[in-house]
């Protein structure tokens, strides 16, 4: 399962759960992102991963733990469709979500990112694990 496949699975799940929001992968140039959507946006991106140790001598088989961040961008903080409400709903929708070949999504942290002219940004991060196994060549 590739990083892009996992990201797309998360995006598709959020699109189903939040049809009134713009849901997409994090922009290529985040500094140029402007919230044009009337309600808000939910942006997904890969933060990085860690690999478990391996005790194998002849064959590498590890667990890879991937972290994905969900950025919530809203026009208000507390009212309907505000940052607090959407943050809670994203957690409820993704906690325990199972993607093929991966463990269930587990929330690990959330917090405030920024506020600029009434546009609020919060982030919640999730991890999941997937096997990482070496490719064996003929004759190995």
**pLDDT, tens digit, for every residue of 69-103?**
999 999 999 988 899 999 999 999 999 999 999 99
3-state secondary structure of 102: coil
Is residue 35 in some structural domain?
A: yes
Note whether residue 7 is domain-resident.
Answer: yes
Q: Where residue 137 falls among pLDDT bands split at 50, 70, 90?
A: low
Q: What is the per-residue pLDDT across 39-69, written as a single tens digit (0 to 9) for each?
A: 999 999 999 999 888 777 777 778 899 999 9
pLDDT level of residue 139 (50, 70, 90 thresholds): low
Assess whether pLDDT exceeds 90 at residue 105. Answer: yes
* Residue 18 CB neighbours (<10 A): 20
Specify the CATH number for the domain of residue 86. 3.30.2000.10
Nearest to 22 by CA among 31, 10, 35: 35
Residue 138 lies in a domain: no
Phi and psi dihedrals of 36, rounded to 5?
Answer: -100, -20
Confidence at residue 28, expressed as pLDDT on a 0 to 100 scale: 85
pLDDT at 48: 94
Residue 22 has pLDDT above 80, yes or no: yes
Does 139 reside within a domain?
Answer: no
Number of domains in the chain: 1
Q: Is the pLDDT of residue 112 over 90?
A: yes
Residue 113 falls inside a structural domain? yes
Mean pLDDT of 123-140: 81
Sheet of 61-74: strand order equals 22-25, 40-51, 61-74, 119-133, 106-116
Question: What pLDDT sits at residue 138?
Answer: 57
Q: Which domain holds residue 13?
A: 3-133
Give the C-alpha distances (Å, rounded to integers) separating 55 from 48, 86, 132: 23, 43, 14
């Amino acid at each position: 399962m590739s990083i892009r496949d996992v990201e797309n699975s998360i995006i598709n799940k959020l699109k189903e759960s939040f049809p009134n929001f713009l849901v997409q992968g994090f922009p290529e140039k985040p500094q140029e992102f402007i919230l044009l959507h009337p309600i808000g946006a939910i942006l997904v991106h890969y933060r990085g991963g860690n690999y478990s140790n391996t005790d194998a001598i002849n064959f590498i088989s590890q667990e890879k733990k991937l972290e994905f961040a969900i950025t919530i961008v809203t026009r208000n903080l507390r009212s309907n469709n505000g940052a607090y409400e959407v943050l809670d709903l994203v957690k409820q929708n993704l906690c325990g979500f199972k993607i093929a070949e991966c463990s269930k999504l587990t929330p690990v942290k959330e917090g405030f990112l920024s506020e600029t002219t009434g546009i609020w940004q919060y982030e919640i991060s999730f991890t999941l694990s997937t096997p990482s196994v070496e490719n064996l060549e003929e004759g190995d």
